[in-house]
Amino acid sequence: MSQEIRVRFAPSPTGHLHIGGARSALFNYLFARNQNGKFIVRIEDTDQARNVDTAMEKLMESMKWLGINWDESIDIGGPHSPYRSMERLDIYKKFVDQLLEEGKAYHCYMTTEELEAEREDQRSRGETPKYSGRDRNLTAEQKQAYEAEGRKPVVRFLVPEKEEIHVNDAVRGDVTFESDGVGDFVIVRQDGIPTYNFAVVIDDHLMEISHVIRGEEHLSNAPRQVLLFQAFGWTPPEFAHASLILNEDKQKMSKRDESIIQFVEQYRDLGYLPEAIVNFIALLGWSPGGEEEILSIDELAEQFSLDRVIKAPAVFDTQKLAWMNNQYMKEAAEDRVVALALPHLIQAGRLPKDMSEAQTQWAHDLIILHQEKMSYGAEIVELTELFFRAEIDYNEEAKEILAEEQVPEVIAALKTKLNDLEEFTAEHVKKAIKAVQKETGHKGKKLFMPVRVAATGQMHGPDLPQAIALLGKAVVNQRLAKLL
C-alpha cells in the first residue's frame, strides 16, 4: 500500500450526481485533506451502454459547486494519466493477458439464454444463482466450434474454491466472504471492454490508491476486487464502506423515490447553498467530535476520520436539511441571497426578466425581508405571495380579528395617516402606526394584529412596516378602503 494517503472518487457518467455519490466524493475529499493526501477523480466509463452524453461534465460541475476540489483528474491531469477508463484499454489488456496466460482467467462462450436457463435451474433447486463454471476447461477444439457458430467469448476470472475472502474494512472490521458464493465473474465483456470490477482494481493499484471509501452498496464488489488484487500479488487498499442512506420511512433510498430530492443539481437549481448541502451530507453516516453541527468544509476536513464513520444506516431528514440551509441563508450576504431567490420570482412570472432600477431595488428589499424565514431560494415564491395578490381572501381566523370592536377606528386612523405620507418608506410607516396608537389609545395586539391582517391578510409575517412599505401606498389604501 502507498505510504502517501491517496483516495479516489470514481463515478460512472450515467447521470447527475446523486446525493449518495456526493457523500462518497465528500468523504474521500475530507479524508485526503485531513491526512494531507491526494484526492483523485477518475471516470469509470467502461459500461458504454449506460453512459450519458454530458454526464461527466455535469458530475464534475456539481462537485465544483459543492467546493469539492481534486488534485488529479481528466481536466488537470496528473502523474497517472489518463484518468478515464476508456482511454486505458491498452493498459487493461496487458493484465487480462497475464491472467489468461497464468490460468487465472478463461474464455467463456455461454450465451445469455444459456446463462439464464442455468440460473433458472439453480433457482428451482433453491440455490443462489451463480455461474456454474461450464467453460472453465474447454479444449481448443471446443473453442473453435463455438467460434465457428459466431459466438464471441467473455473473459471470466477463475475464483478459487472453498476459500475465505477477507475484506479489511475501516468501518466494519474484518468482513469475510465465502469464495464458493461468488462464482467465476466476468472481467472482459464480449466487446473486449473490461468490466468495472476489473478496471477499478488495475487503476487503484497503478494509481497507488491507499484507501477505497465508498457506500455500503459496493461492499458486494469488494470480495471480487480482493481476489483480483491477490491474483496479481498486490496488497489491496484499505476499504471503508459507509452506511446506507435511508429515506424518512427508514427504507433504502431508491433513485425512483420521489419523496426526496436526490440529485445535487436539483438542490442547486432550487436555490440551496452548497456549503449547507456539504454540511448536511457530511453528517449522513459520520459524526463530529463535539455537539456543534454547523461546520464549514474546512472545519469538517479538520475533524474528519474514518473511525467516526458510522455502521448504522443514515436517515435523510429533509426537515433537518431545510433547517440547516436556513441557518446558512440567515448568515449569507444579501446579494447572494437575492441571486438565489430572484430567478424563481422571474420564472414564476411575478417579476419581469428586464427590470428598471426601481424594480430591481424593490425586488432586493422584498427578498431580504424574507431572508430570515427562507429555507432555500425557490421558497421565495410562496413566502411573497401576498405582495402579488390583487385581492385578499381573509380566512375565518383573520375575520375574527377584523370583527373586534376597535378595528374600524384603528383602520380609519391608519388609512388617514398613511395617505398623508409623502415618503412611503418603512421608517415613515412605522411612525404612522405609532401616531395611530397615540390617537386611538389602542396598542399591542389590539393595534398591530388588525393592521397586519388588514394590510397583508396574514396573522404572522415579516417586519410589518417594511411589508406595508413594499406593498405600496396604492395597494394598502385600496385594501383598507375596502375593509372600511
Q: How far apart are alpha carbons 322 and 98 in whole angstroms?
A: 53
Distance between CA atoms of 308 and 314, rounded to whole angstroms? Answer: 13
Helix (H) or strand (E) holding 173: strand 173-178
Is residue 44 within 8 Å of 194, Cβ to Cβ? Answer: no
The active-site residue out of 64, 93, 252, 255 is: 255
Residue in 296, 256, 292 with CA at minimum distance from that of residue 273: 296
SS3 at position 19: helix
The DSSP call for residue 159 is P
Rounded Cα distance, 383 and 370, in Å:
7
* Amino acid at position 334, single letter: E
**Pair 377, 413: CB distance under 8 Å:** no
Spatial contact of 372 and 403, defined as CB atoms under 8 Å apart: no
> How far apart are the C-alpha atoms of 241 and 258, rounded to whole Å?
26
Q: Which of 244, 171, 174, 170 is nearest to 210 (CA)?
A: 170
Beta strands in 234-306 (DSSP E): 238-242, 245-246
Cα angle value 240/220/26 (rounded, 5°):
35
Is residue 173 exposed (0-12), middle (13-18) or buried (19+ Cβ within 10 Å)?
A: exposed
Task: Determine the Cα–Cα distance for residues 306 and 238; give it in Å rounded to an integer.
Answer: 11
The question of whether 373 is a catalytic residue gets the answer no
Q: Hey, what's the cell of 216?
A: 455500503
Whether the Cβ atoms of residue 45 and residue 85 lie closer than 8 Å to each other: yes
**CA atoms 386, 387, 393, 395: torsion sign:** positive
Helix (H) or strand (E) segment spanning residue 41: strand 38-41
Question: Strand order of the sheet with strand 186-188?
Answer: 105-108, 154-157, 186-188
The residue type found at 449 is M
CA dihedral 328, 329, 333, 338 (to 10 degrees): 150
Only one residue has cell 457530511, namely: 282
Cβ-based neighbours of 243, under 8 Å, separated by 6 or more: 171, 216, 285, 309, 310, 311, 312, 313, 314
Whole-angstrom Cα distance, residue 127 to residue 134? 17
In order of 77, 394, 484, the CA distances from 480 in angstroms are: 67, 13, 6
Q: Catalytic residue numbers?
A: 255
